[in-house]
Chains A and B, each alone.
Chain A
Amino acid sequence: MIRRDSIAIALATLMVASAPARAATFEYLYVESNVGGSSGGHAAILLGDRVFHYMNADDGSLRLLREPFDAFRYTYTVLENRTVHVGRIDISQASYERIRDRFNRRHLIEQQHFRALTSQREDAALLERIVAGHGERRVTTARPPDDPAILGAGFFDLEGPAPAVGAPTLRKLLARITSAYGPEMLARRLAATDRALSALRPDPVPAEGAKPSRDRMPPDETTFSERFVDLASARAALGVLMDARPVRRTTTRSGATADWELTPADRSVLEAFAESLEGRLAELFHSDRDDWGYAALVGMARLEAVTRSLASGRWIFLDVFPERTHVIADVAHPGRSEFFDELRRYSRSDFFATRAALASADEVGEREYSAVEVAANRALEIRDGIANGRDIRVFAGHLAPQGEASAPDAWLPRIDRATAEPALRAARMRVESTERGLRDVYAYELIENNCVSALFETLESAFADAEVAERLGGRVETRGTLNFIPWISFDAVKREYRVVEVGEIPSLRLTRMAAMYARENRARVYLRESNTLTSSIYRSNPHDSFFVFFTDDVVWPRPFYGAFNFLAGIGQATLGLLRMPFTGPEQFVAGVKGAFFSLPELFFVNLRKGSLDYGPSVVARTGHVSAVPTGGTPPVRNLLKPENTTLESLE
């Protein structure tokens, strides 16, 4: 039987799930505070299944992120244990499209600004190499920072002697190209590429241009390093093909279990893909596009991986990970086994799901193959990391195979020192100038340009000033008000905008406690879960400050718990001070922070909720949330429908 309090509900998740059907609404999301991340909370806009929000990046800039709602919800409600408040705002279809366009456009422009900066840094790095006088020959895997990468070239050994026999796959491709375009085409192209590389010169650096703006694309410009990368990629692709250089074994991966065996359906798909890829590669080597080299290098490496798969009867993939990536560390930590078990299960099921999609696809192109390639890489990385207790590499979203390599010195443009040195100075000045310009536009500021004020500025600038109130129901002013604070902004949204529904997605702890209350003795649950020492939900997290009592689910006892937490923090800091010479400052710092963040609790304010190093994402994905209508605004429509709700155990 379904309990009333467990179904009274669901609001925010179900509101969100139903959003695409009601396109003329969007959601304002206010994420409750937690310490360390954002003491005033956080805010975001949900449009369809995409969340837009501003985050303070390591370089001090405030960046607009666009991500799937699932990922956002998992981060905040599970990992950070924070409740998300949702306000649904009614707007016209035209307004919805204007807002979505506005956020998408700003996101794109911002990306272009920072891409341009990266290119300019690569210009400077390339000129540094040239000025350095082509010192020691470089190995292909150790690239200095900002050195422009030749993507795809890392899958092959570019500089060793040509193999005596060569890779059969590439010899077959070579024969096909020779037959189609004549025996001299590749040699002519190689010579032309070498000449172009040698003669490549940096363009004069333009005088300082217009200041960057969030609403204007940076000028389109093909930089020195971009032209170099194009030519070097083409050079690498031609060299690999003409020598039939095989893919380096260390850049491919596979599994030994039955999961990785090819089924007849897999085999049939791979044969078709290999045939079409070979044809496309033949065209690429005759292509007039400038950036063909990267596509050709990855295509050849994939062709060989597919051919090896067919020969061995097992899936073999390129290692798609970039050389610089984030990792999940401390994999062997015993407290994380549940998380890793889940990761392994999900990544494995994802691999099977993408395989099934590939097998049933009408046509197998790069997008379909790449989906399996990425899923397989994630699954293998997680499996190997767990098996060997080593760090697990992770990357954002989707990824084309990287295979980065540094261009051999022999390919560098022949530029004399007298030309290269002034060009390097100019390139460095340009980088500084661009960094200054971007700081002016994107620098995080606590009030004027934080995650809330930037969000409202972007949202309301989708319309002419006079239109805002009509389109949204009102206007939220962040200048000269406290609306720049996330929790105050949510009140302002409810007051000013045309909010038709509000709800909450409770944090992981609150969600789990609700389920426990429903099944167990309430007093026993409360006593067990009210503190960090005996809680079955919270696990000690080294990133959290020291505290004993949770205060996010209580109001009146909060000052008492806060006082206890404060004293416990002081005690911990004292102990940490005494032990500091032996164990380092961590315990002392955790105690001081713990005491500090207990202070608001003395005044009934809860900031700290504890966070999880890792969390069971299944909770967030299946959406066991309590529906909590909040008062004051129009009544919440309960969108829960029994037929589309999963009421499985949260344990």
Chain B
Amino acid sequence: MSPTRHALLCLAIAALATSATGCIFKSSTSQASSESSSASSSGLSRSLTSPSRSSSPSSREADYALDIRDYTAEWVLSGGDNDSFERRISQIAKEDGITDWRQDDSTYRGIGRGLKKAGLKGDRYKDVAAQLGGSDPQRMQWIQKGYDAESEP
């Protein structure tokens, strides 16, 4: 490495180390006095920079369905119980602006995709789908659509 390049690198590293705040959250806002933001909402600061707009419903729904899919697959593979499954789904839904997730087709499509991603097939798939869909025909249909839409793991 040339001495010049070496010096430049050292300088850059020194500046990086001195600032010691690499890649910090940046927002154009200040926080409400004597209050702190929730640590559980990791996306907070980023979206503050564009406070006038809602994110597009389709991309939001796609993110939501992916999270539901991934959580469902994890839940199946780890053998969790129904109670905790519904609670986590409810939390994910709440963060997506949905309070009544059982009425939302994206939830059940995401669940269907998660069942496929977890490798469930045949009777095992049907059992778990019925368990999660509560044997409601409409929800079962949504689950099946999600299952069919997901590619083989």
Contacts and interface: CB of A to CB of B under 8 A. Distances in A.
B51 A394 contact: yes
A392 B52 CA distance: 11
Interface in B2-43: 7-9, 11-13, 15-32, 35-43
Among A105, A108, A326, residue most surrounded by chain B Cβ atoms (within 10 Å): A326
B22 A63 contact: no
B99 A600 contact: no
B142 interface: no
B148 interface: no
Interface string A346-368: 11001000100100000001110
B21 A56 contact: yes
Interface in A61-78: 62-68, 70-72, 74-75
A471 B23 CA distance: 28
Given A75-B49, A114-B39, A604 B8 contact: yes
B80 interface: yes
B46 A42 contact: no
Interface in A395-421: 395-401
Given A80-B26, A607-B15, A400 B94 contact: yes
A54 B23 contact: yes
Given A108-B70, A350-B53, A40 B15 contact: yes
B48 A396 contact: yes
B42 A63 contact: yes
B52 A289 contact: no
Contacts of B45: 55, 326, 396
A327 interface: yes
A365 B104 contact: yes
Contacts of A217: 71, 74-75, 78
A603 B7 contact: yes
A458 to B, nearest CB: 14
A366 B19 CA distance: 45
Interface in A33-66: 35-40, 42, 49-50, 53-59, 62-66
A301 to B, nearest CB: 10
Contacts of A220: 75, 78, 80-81, 84-85, 88
Contacts of B38: 118, 322, 324
Contacts of A117: 39-40
Given A115-B91, A603-B7, A400 B99 contact: yes
A638 B2 CA distance: 35
B54 A446 contact: no
Interface stretch (A292-300, A579-587, A640-648): A292-300
A394 B37 contact: no
Contacts, number: 276
B61 interface: yes
A328 B35 CA distance: 14
A115 B98 contact: no
B47 interface: yes
A393 B32 contact: yes
A101 B32 contact: no
Given A58-B25, A74-B49, A220-B84, A68 B12 contact: no
Contacts of A71: 46-47, 49-50, 55
A493 to B, nearest CB: 17
B12 A400 contact: no
Given A327-B31, A329-B30, A398-B60, A485 B39 contact: no
A595 interface: no
A124 to B, nearest CB: 15
Contacts of B78: 217, 220
A617 interface: yes
A40 B95 CA distance: 33
Given A220-B78, A295-B100, A343-B52, A614 B70 contact: no
Interface string A93-133: 00001000100110011111011011000000000000000
A365 B96 CA distance: 14
B48 to A, nearest CB: 5
B118 to A, nearest CB: 12
Interface residues of B, number: 80
Contact of A108 (B9, B36, B67): B67
B22 A397 contact: no
Interface in A307-330: 322-329
A91 interface: no
Among B40, B59, B151, residue most surrounded by chain A Cβ atoms (within 10 Å): B40
A400 B29 contact: no
A78 to B, nearest CB: 8
B127 interface: no
Contacts of B46: 55, 65, 67, 71-72, 75, 396
A284 B41 CA distance: 28
Contacts of B95: 397
Contacts of A53: 23
Given A49-B59, A217-B74, A394-B29, A39 B51 contact: no
Contacts of A395: 44, 47-48
A145 interface: yes
Contacts of A600: 11-12, 15
Nearest to A298: B99
Contact of A38 (B22, B85, B103): B22
A105 B70 contact: yes
Nearest to B85: A220
A107 B16 CA distance: 26
**Nearest 8 interchain pairs by C-beta:** A220-B84, A451-B23, A396-B47, A394-B51, A398-B97, A346-B52, A40-B16, A220-B80
Given A40-B15, A67-B43, A400-B98, 7 more contacts: A108-B74, A280-B100, A290-B83, A290-B86, A370-B98, A398-B97, A599-B11
30 contacts: A35-B19, A39-B22, A40-B13, A65-B42, A70-B50, A71-B46, A72-B46, A97-B151, A104-B70, A114-B39, A115-B91, A117-B39, A220-B84, A324-B38, A326-B37, A326-B45, A328-B51, A346-B53, A347-B53, A367-B97, A370-B98, A378-B53, A382-B51, A395-B47, A398-B55, A398-B96, A451-B23, A482-B13, A613-B28, A617-B50
Interface of B: 7-9, 11-13, 15-32, 35-57, 59-61, 63, 66-67, 70-71, 74-75, 78, 80-81, 83-88, 90-91, 94-100, 102-104, 106, 151
